[in-house]
């Protein structure tokens, strides 16, 4: 792939690209792809000519990132449905997070921008950094294939996956719990406040959630609503862990049955 000709003020020195590849932990077979990923759209606008920028690579990189993280979430959280998985993915790929990854890699220092964009601090603008990060992923995908892109993404997002708790963060755990219970029962869960301690200005409420006469979970919070949400979250974790265990046991039983049926 040939690089578009850029005037000297816009070109990143080969040494700069070499140092960046060391930081990335990935060496491009075609360095022109890396330079293209670093070329901000402002370059084309200021030169007033047809210059390739990183916008197409950004489009491609966004798709690669979504696929890798969606697949990883699907594998890591087998007991969770579409709603929680979608929320967890959104947490991982919000623009601020992508800009932080770009900043950590030093992409801003290597970004090829116009003189005007440089003057107005565009090199460190979060939106530009997030776009460049996605463009970089697109460039790695084209240069090394899906496997290389996947390894690069998972290496960077390893800590973020560790930051996700056993259950992805939920906006409405009480609603999620009710939806789960209604999948096999018409009875709704009900909540009980079991204690309220502390002075009036700093109360702590303890709450339990019950279904069909069974306590499913408990939680504490600075308000009854917060305590109920914590109880619902605890119940969801317990129920989904139980569902996964039952599924694993059923799979094991079926494998044993299949083994017994095989002729010796």
Residues 17, 106, 64: CA angle, nearest 5 degrees: 85
Q: Tokens in use for 175?
A: 């609603």
CB 106 within 8 A of CB 38: no
> Does the annotation count 117 as an active-site position?
no
Tell me which of 62, 117, 131, 143 is the catalytic residue: 62
> Does the annotation count 7 as an active-site position?
no
Of the CA atoms within 13 Å of residue 38, those in its CB half-sphere come to 24
Give the integer Cα–Cα distance in Å for 35 and 139. 9
Number of H helices, E strands in the chain: 12, 3
Positions of E strands within 137-242: 190-197, 204-211, 214-221
Tell me which of 58, 117, 131, 134 is the catalytic residue: 134
Please choose, from the candidates 240, 242, 237, 177, the residue with its C-alpha nearest in 3D space to the C-alpha of residue 210: 177
What are the residues whose beta carbons fall under 8 Å from the beta carbon of 37, sequence distance 6 or more?
A: 54, 57, 132, 135, 136, 138, 139
In the numeric block, the tokens 């460049």 are attached to: 132
Write phi, then psi, for 210 (nearest 5 degrees). Answer: -130, 155
Q: Tokens in use for 119?
A: 């003057």
Give the integer Cα–Cα distance in Å for 235 and 186. 17
Residues belonging to the active site:
62, 134
């Amino acid at each position: 792939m040939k690089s578009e000709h850029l005037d000297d003020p816009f070109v990143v020195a080969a040494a700069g690209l070499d140092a960046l590849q060391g930081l990335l932990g990935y060496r491009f077979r075609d360095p022109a792809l890396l330079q293209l990923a670093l070329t901000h759209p402002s370059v084309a606008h200021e030169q007033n000519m047809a210059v390739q920028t990183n916008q197409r690579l950004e489009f491609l990189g966004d798709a690669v990132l979504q696929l890798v993280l969606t697949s990883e979430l699907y594998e890591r959280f087998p007991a969770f449905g579409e709603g929680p998985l979608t929320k967890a993915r959104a947490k991982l790929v919000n623009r601020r997070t992508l800009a932080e990854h770009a900043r950590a890699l030093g992409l801003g220092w290597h970004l090829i921008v116009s003189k005007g964009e440089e003057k107005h601090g565009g090199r460190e603008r979060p939106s530009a950094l997030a776009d460049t990060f996605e463009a970089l992923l697109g460039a790695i995908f084209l240069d090394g294939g899906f496997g290389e892109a996947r390894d690069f993404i998972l290496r960077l997002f390893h800590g973020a996956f560790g930051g996700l708790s056993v259950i992805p963060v939920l906006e409405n755990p009480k609603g999620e719990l009710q939806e789960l219970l209604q999948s096999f029962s018409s009875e709704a869960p009900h909540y009980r406040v079991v204690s309220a301690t502390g002075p009036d200005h700093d109360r702590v409420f303890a709450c339990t959630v019950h279904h069909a006469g069974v306590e499913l979970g408990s939680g504490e919070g600075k308000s009854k609503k917060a305590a109920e949400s914590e109880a619902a979250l605890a119940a969801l974790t317990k129920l989904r862990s139980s569902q996964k265990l039952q599924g694993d046991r059923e799979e094991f039983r079926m494998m044993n049955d299949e083994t017994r049926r095989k002729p010796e």
